[in-house]
């Protein structure tokens, strides 16, 4: 089974490298891949999961699996390699995220335009709805999209690039996530309030308040993650 899995994984990886599955395009379904490769759907699912964990593919809830852009793949592999070399990296990553997102919130408050405003409002609606439910994948997807929208509103692509890849690592590789919270839990409700406060500050163009809101939000996440780790 392991050799068959390795073969399927290598086949998919080669297909991506050769452009048969182009960046930004959707991968064939598990059923189609299973039939074309002559293996079980479970083997295909595991092979795809391996490439997702390495940042080559990305799952979109309800919309299939897509090939990640080459530049994003390289960054994902850098983060993953770092996490594997430093098993206690989680705290350092959260600390770095706090610095990065605090500054991103400041710049977004100062630089966002009308188009950013529309995207930010839509992202907040999505993440608020997700945390009003308990679907883990949707919470992760919308949370990443919300913070990515803030990074995009800085109009500095480095922020967008770093924040997107860092969040992917935290959620997918290190498995450092508050996702899966029950909607009526105190933590889920506090997260919703924090997201709203952060966006309000950005849209009000209050850079200092936005910085404090972002910093407080990440500090809260770090504290809750530590609490969850102790409870586990």
Kindly report, residue by residue over 153-196, the tens digit of the pLDDT.
999 988 887 887 777 666 654 445 666 678 788 888 999 999 99
Q: Which position has the higher pLDDT, 158 or 52?
A: 158
Percent residues over pLDDT 90 in the chain = 36
Q: What are the backbone angles phi and psi of residue 103, rounded to the nearest 5°? A: -70, -40
Give the per-residue pLDDT at 39.
Answer: 92
| Average pLDDT across the chain, whole number | 83
Percent residues over pLDDT 70 in the chain = 79
Map residue 232 onto helix, strand or coil: coil
17: alpha, beta or left? (left if phi > 0; alpha if psi -120 to 50) = alpha
Average pLDDT over residues 12-34: 87
Average pLDDT over residues 59-70: 75
DSSP β-bridge partners for residue 57: 67
Give the per-residue pLDDT at 68.
Answer: 77
Measured CA to CA, the distance from residue 71 to residue 168 in angstroms comes to: 14
Domains of the chain in start order, with CATH, are 2-68 (1.10.10.10), 72-231 (1.20.120.530)
Q: What DSSP element (H or E) covers 59?
A: strand 57-60
pTM of the model: 0.66
């Amino acid at each position: 089974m392991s050799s068959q899995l390795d073969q399927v994984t290598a086949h998919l990886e080669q297909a991506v490298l050769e452009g048969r599955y182009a960046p930004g395009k959707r991968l064939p379904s598990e059923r189609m891949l299973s039939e074309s490769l002559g293996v079980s759907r479970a083997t295909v699912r595991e092979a795809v999961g391996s490439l997702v964990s390495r940042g080559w593919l990305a799952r979109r809830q309800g919309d299939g699996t897509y090939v990640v852009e080459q530049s994003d793949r390289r960054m994902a592999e850098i983060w993953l390699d770092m996490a594997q070399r430093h098993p206690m990296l989680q705290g350092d990553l959260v600390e770095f995220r706090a610095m990065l997102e605090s500054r991103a919130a400041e710049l977004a408050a100062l630089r966002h335009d009308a188009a950013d405003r529309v995207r930010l409002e839509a992202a907040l609606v999505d993440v608020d709805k997700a945390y009003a439910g308990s679907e883990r994948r949707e919470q992760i997807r919308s949370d990443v999209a919300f913070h990515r929208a803030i990074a995009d509103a800085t109009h500095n692509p480095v922020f967008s690039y770093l924040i997107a890849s860092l969040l992917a690592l935290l959620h997918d590789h290190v498995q450092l996530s508050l996702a899966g919270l029950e909607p009526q839990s105190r933590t889920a409700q506090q997260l919703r309030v924090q997201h709203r406060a952060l966006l309000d500050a950005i849209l009000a163009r209050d850079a200092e308040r936005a910085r404090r809101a972002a910093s407080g939000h990440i500090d809260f996440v770090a504290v809750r993650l530590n609490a969850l780790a102790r409870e586990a």
